[in-house]
Structures are given as structure tokens and as C-alpha cells.
Amino acid sequence: MTELDIRERLKSVKYPGFTRDIVSFGLVKSISIDPKRCEVRLSILTENSEVVREIVAGVETVLGQVEGLPPADIIVERPALDKGAQARQLAKATGRGPSGLPGVARVVAVASGKGGVGKSTVAAHLAVALARRGLRVGLLDADIYGPSVPLLFGVPAGVSGGSDGEGRFLPVERYGVKLVSMGFFIGEGAALVWRGPMLTKALSQFLHDVAWGELDVLVLDLPPGTGDVQLTLTQSLAMDGGVIVTTPQDVALADVERGVKMFQQAEVPVLGVIENMSFHVCTGCGAHTHLFGDGGAARVANRFGLVTLGAIPLVRTLREAGDAGAPVVASDPDGDLARLFLQIAEKVSQAVGVGAEAGHA
Ligand code: ADP
């Protein structure tokens, strides 16, 4: 009987009140077995002693059923986390709570230091590419200043998914991605009226008021920039990773630093940088030209100890795909661009641990 076997068996212990087990919730910190003793360390956040007691009893029962196992010590650790981190961890574990989204396994935010770098284009293509990998994907367009998901996915103005019996918004599905956009709900000019705290409050509420169903990953298209609105949004959910979209120019690269700082402040791991409009491919001869310099994003990524998740060329087909409402990952699934986005999607899903584990890819 190895530590792995024990961990496997502990998957039969459910978190009280939930269908998920304590192993997948990350409560089992370590297991060690020697000939005389067996030790199981649990890390439990909740202050509810009844829940702790039930979990420990469950673990005891499982260990008691293992023949020949030496006497076991079950040690319960109370991780010392600040309140925000506690809330996020609990929300992530339970899918409930102040900042958790029920049914949503992972949340990945896409940010950029400023507008116009192709953040929404990249977020949309990343979402479709993740769906092509067999994952259940949602895309939330929180870009209140210029919601572009309706355009990018060809959802006509005024179309929304309606609401469910509990008054929650229902997403619209396109290209295998469940979509919700501020653009479904705000009239033209409305964004100009909402400012400061009112805007942030509306956005946070909106985030929690969508009936996503079961999702492996939710891609969050943040508003451009790295100010208070973006930070609040990033903190209002239990995020698993942040992706920063940039172009190779020096000015854009300075923005990467702000993006990294924003995610760090919100304690969100930065998964890496995507360099958009990285090079130009000549439609005549196929030559690659680095209009804005070469390798800039990689240098910046290095400086912050980040990886470059991919480099997307400046090509007319991407702009046209946006205007036509048909992401290239879906319209030209075997093309070079689709391949680039699929590679990025693979890195992202690996980084946040969805895919093989979810059993869909
Ligand atoms: P952001 O969300 O950063 O403001 P968008 O995704 O809306 O930027 O992109 C801005 C414009 O640039 C859009 O017209 C889009 O089609 C175009 N675009 C984005 N990425 C590329 C690219 N790699 N090649 C060509 N056009 C692009």
C-alpha cells in the first residue's frame, strides 16, 4: 500500500455538503507511511468545526479499511492566509461563496496594458481554441468600454441568451463557447454613464449573475488597462491565471509590467505573455517581417520570469475574421493561425490544470 494508493482511496471522502472529494479540493496536503506509523496531513480552511470533524471521521474510516496499515495520525493544519486569500481559496474549493462561480472549474483572465493591442481578438480565439481541445468553455466580455465579443462572434445587436428561472443571465453559444458580453446588455453610450464605484459594482454583480452551467474554463476578457476597475474585477473572482496580451513596441512592453503588477496584487499567477501583431506575413511571398522589432515580448517576459505563450502575426485575415464574426480557429481550423492559437490553448490549459484531468481533451 503506497501513499498514492491511500490518496486514491481518500477520494471517496466527500467535502460535507458537496459532491466533490477532499483530494480534488486540495485538502490532502501530504501522506507518509513507514512501518510503524502512517501520517495524513489535511489543510482545512473552514472555521466550521462540524465540517472538520466530519472530514476527519471520513478519513479515519477510509484508513481503517486498509488492511495492514499501521496506526494513523491525522493532522489538521489551519493555513494562515489573509482574509482575501482565504475567501478565494474557499470559493475555489467549493464553487460557492463570495467570489466563486458555481460550476466553473477554472478562471483565466486576459488583460492588456492599453486598448487596441488585440486583447479581445486573442481572448476570443483562445476561447474557441480551448473549446476545440474538448473543454467546456465560457467567455465573459467584461470590456465595458468597448465590448467586442458580439462583433467577434457575430451575435447581432440586441441578442442575448435571456435569463433562467432564478433571474440569472443565460449565455449565448457560438463555436462551442458560451458567451456573455456587457454588449448584450448595455445600450450605446451606457458605458460613458457608468463610472467609478458604480461601474465596478455593476461589473462584479454581473460576473456572479450568469448561469454558466458546468465549465472547465472561463476566459475573462478584462477591460483594457490595469487600473482600479481591472484590479477589482481580478480580485472579485477566484482566478487561476492571468494572460497578458501585448504588441512588440516599447510602449506596449512598458504596459506588460503594469499588467504583471496588477495580477500580483490580486495574487493571480501570471501564466505568460502573448505577443500580438508580432510580425507581418507577406501575402505575396510569405516572408516574415518584424515591423515593430523582434523578440521584444520574449525579452520582457524573461525580465519578469514569465514565458511567452505565443506570437501572433499581424494579418488581414484576423481583422476580417473579427469583422465577419467568425474566429479563424473555427473558420479555418487547419490553418497556420488556428495552429498557433491551439498551441497557446494547450499551454494555458496545462498551466491551469484542465484537459486530461477534466477528461475532455
Ligand atoms: P483590444 O481588445 O486590445 O482593444 P481588439 O481585439 O479589439 O483589441 O483589436 C483591435 C483591432 O485590431 C481589431 O480591428 C482587430 O480585428 C485587429 N487585430 C487584432 N489582432 C490582429 C492581428 N494579429 N492582425 C490583424 N489585425 C488584428
210-228: per-residue pLDDT in tens? 899 999 999 999 988 888 7
**Rounded distance between C-alpha atoms, residue 56 and residue 77, angstroms:** 12
Closest Cα to atom 19 of ligand 1: 118
Pocket lining: 225 vs ligand 1, CB cutoff 6 Å: no
Relative to the CA of 322, which ligand 1 atom is closest? 16
Pocket lining: 246 vs ligand 1, CB cutoff 6 Å: no
**Rounded distance between C-alpha atoms, residue 239 and residue 4, angstroms:** 28
Query: What is the SS3 assignment for 123?
Result: helix
* CATH number of 25's domain: 3.30.300.130
My answer on whether 160 and 262 are in the same domain is yes
Instruction: Report the sign of the C-alpha dihedral through residues 7, 10, 11, 17, in that order.
Output: negative
My answer on whether 179 and 44 are in the same domain is no
**What are 37-82's pLDDT values in tens digits?**
999 999 886 667 788 899 999 999 999 999 889 988 999 887 654 4
Pocket lining: 278 vs ligand 1, CB cutoff 6 Å: no
My answer on whether 67 and 103 are in the same domain is no
Pocket lining: 116 vs ligand 1, CB cutoff 6 Å: yes
My answer on whether 51 and 116 are in the same domain is no
My answer on whether 105 and 13 are in the same domain is no
| Nearest Cα residue to 338 out of 328, 348, 326 | 328
- Residue-level pLDDT at 63: 94
Could you say which of 22, 47, 77 is where a domain stops? 77
> What's the gap in Å between 322 CA and the centre of ligand 1?
8
* CATH number of 270's domain: 3.40.50.300
Flag whether pLDDT at 91 surpasses 70: no
Query: What is the SS3 assignment for 28?
Result: strand
Closest Cα to atom 22 of ligand 1: 314
Q: Are 31 and 46 in contact (CB under 8 A)?
A: no
Flag whether pLDDT at 242 surpasses 90: yes
Pocket lining: 319 vs ligand 1, CB cutoff 6 Å: yes
Based on the structure, what is the number of domains in the chain? 2
Could you say which of 77, 101, 118 is where a domain stops? 77
- Residue-level pLDDT at 361: 38
My answer on whether 28 and 147 are in the same domain is no
Task: Report percent pLDDT > 90 for the chain.
Answer: 36
My answer on whether 177 and 52 are in the same domain is no
* Boundaries of domain holding 203: 84-358
Pocket lining: 121 vs ligand 1, CB cutoff 6 Å: yes
My answer on whether 147 and 224 are in the same domain is yes
- Residue-level pLDDT at 46: 66
**What are 101-147's pLDDT values in tens digits?**
888 888 999 999 888 899 999 999 999 999 999 999 999 998 877 78
> What's the gap in Å between 317 CA and the centre of ligand 1?
11
> Number of helices and strands (H, E) in the chain?
13, 13
Instruction: Using CB atoms within 10 Å of the CB of residue 184, give its burial: 0 to 12 exposed, 13 to 18 middle, 19+ buried.
Output: buried
Pocket lining: 276 vs ligand 1, CB cutoff 6 Å: yes
| Whether pTM exceeds 0.85 | no
Q: DSSP labels for 304-351?
A: TT--EEEE--B-HHHHHHHHHT--HHHHSTTSHHHHHHHHHHHHHHHH
At 335, is the pLDDT very low, low, confident or very high (cuts 50, 70, 90)?
Answer: very high
At 255, is the pLDDT very low, low, confident or very high (cuts 50, 70, 90)?
Answer: confident
- Residue-level pLDDT at 81: 47
Structure-model confidence comparison of residues 210 and 284, the more confident one: 210
**What are 13-35's pLDDT values in tens digits?**
988 876 778 887 778 889 999 98
My answer on whether 72 and 117 are in the same domain is no
Pocket lining: 120 vs ligand 1, CB cutoff 6 Å: yes
My answer on whether 89 and 72 are in the same domain is no
The count of other CB atoms within 10 Å of the CB of residue 157 is 10
My answer on whether 23 and 148 are in the same domain is no
Look over the chain and give the mean of its residue pLDDT values, rounded to a whole number.
82
> What's the gap in Å between 318 CA and the centre of ligand 1?
8
Flag whether pLDDT at 152 surpasses 90: yes
My answer on whether 40 and 138 are in the same domain is no
Flag whether pLDDT at 358 surpasses 50: no
- Residue-level pLDDT at 360: 43
Residue from 117, 121, 219, 274 to probe ligand 1 pocket by mutation (most atoms less than 8 Å from CB): 121
pLDDT, mean of residues 193-222: 80
> What's the gap in Å between 194 CA and the centre of ligand 1?
25
Relative to the CA of 323, which ligand 1 atom is closest? 16
Could you say which of 77, 111, 128 is where a domain stops? 77
> What's the gap in Å between 217 CA and the centre of ligand 1?
23
